[in-house]
Structure 1
Amino acid sequence: MNARHDLLVVGGGPAGLATALHAARAGLDTIVAEPRQAPVDKACGEGLMPGAVRHLAALGLHASGHPLTGIRYVQGTHRVQAAFRHGPGLGVRRTHLHSVLHQAVSEAGVPVLPLRVGEVRQDATGVSVPGTGLRARWLVAADGLHSPVRRSLGLEVRNRAVPRYGLRRHYAVPPWSAYVEVHWVPHGEAYVTPLGPELVGIALLTGQRAPFATQLQRFPELAARLPAEAAVTGVRGAGPLRQQTP
């Protein structure tokens, strides 16, 4: 059987959509499978490093957000920081970035099928999705942290490390720095990303399970800047975060 498409991208998040856009502009007959309607919000640090900002510009795309000067690490009274040497980064809401990429893919004529792909089959001439008639010469699995495609292809590797989880929330407070701040305590980190004139994103990474408010209190200096009434989104979580492949 001849391939019906050149490339099947499973997963229509920012990574999958950027891949599909590059492929379509390179002349490949590309299709994306993504069951959720755009934009999709997920637990995310929401900071684009300078390289990602340049890649976005190379695609001819613009996302609005807050310029990022560099990275600052904070542990108690200790501070160390470094500015980016090759242009600024960008703090940008994941939903906004997703919308920008989704629109570009649509304008490029790439179909985004509302299809959940849980299994793929591979043979000498390509890949197919059972029960759908969907077939392509190549596959990109961009279906996330707990990729069903990775499992279906036997690429899942058990990770014996202590599992770590991420929690994210937004606060309507002015950013106090143009740096991404990483606050350290013995059992985790808090990532502070400026996202707009009156918005910061807080992402907590830890191996200990506890509610967001409990975790935040482990960072007293940070918690003092973030009153509960300033929270403007609910808590989203993800994990375990570290995944391995053969």
Structure 2
Amino acid sequence: MVTAVSMLAVLIACGQTESKSEKETGEKNEGKKPVTELTVLAAASMTDAMQEIGEAYQETHENIEITYQFDSSGTLKTQIEEGAPADIFISAATKQMDELVQGELVAKDSVFPWLENKVVLIVPKDSEDGPDSFEDAAKEEVPMIAIGNEDVPVGQYTQTIYQNLGLLENIQAKANLASNVRQVLDWVATGNAPCGVVYATDAQIEENVKVVCEAPKGSCDPVIYPAGMVSASKEKEASAEFLEYLKTEAVSEILEAYGFTPYQS
């Protein structure tokens, strides 16, 4: 009998302890904000910088969880048009953003020019007989050039550059078209293409390529990256806060470390 009573007392005590623990846990959880998930669709050239920016943001916003989708701006634009879940869009050109704004798929008053980049010609790091300029890359002795396709901003910049140089047909005849700028970078870095056109920031993170030169002055429009909120976002307040964060000095320092230039009007 004594043993049974003792066991009963222990069980009651355990039950009280568990109830107290559950109560304390509940009280703690009441003080925490629920996790908010933000889906950011960003140009492939933003991959490394955006991941660092997101990590820095989440250090001071523990209730925010950021999910990224990196690809060509044209592909991401199509995803938004087809209704893919998204809160924020960052494009490598104004064209895709403007078209989404016109279609009311991105909130016009949320869009701002965020940063700038440069278009460069690259060759494999150990290349000794590659082209020395954009003009050289169009010559017959260069068998191939890797460029983005017409849906990719870097491909559109490339076409504009060579059209203005009067050499577009030369390039089109031997172009190896990539689905995004990182694919161009990979082809040149692995030696599968003797040269390619990418952004300066992409070349900066790849040790197996070297920059030959920047695009000739005046051959293409400034490379401006706009950012904005997707109209269908279910987290508008959190999205607006994140977009404001992108304008801070702390973010500018991260961007500059990756070779981007914060936009200045």
Please say whether Structure 1 and Structure 2 have the same fold, judged by a TM-score greater than 0.5: no
More strand by share: 1
Q: What TM-score does the superposition give when structure 2 sets the normalisation length?
A: 0.24
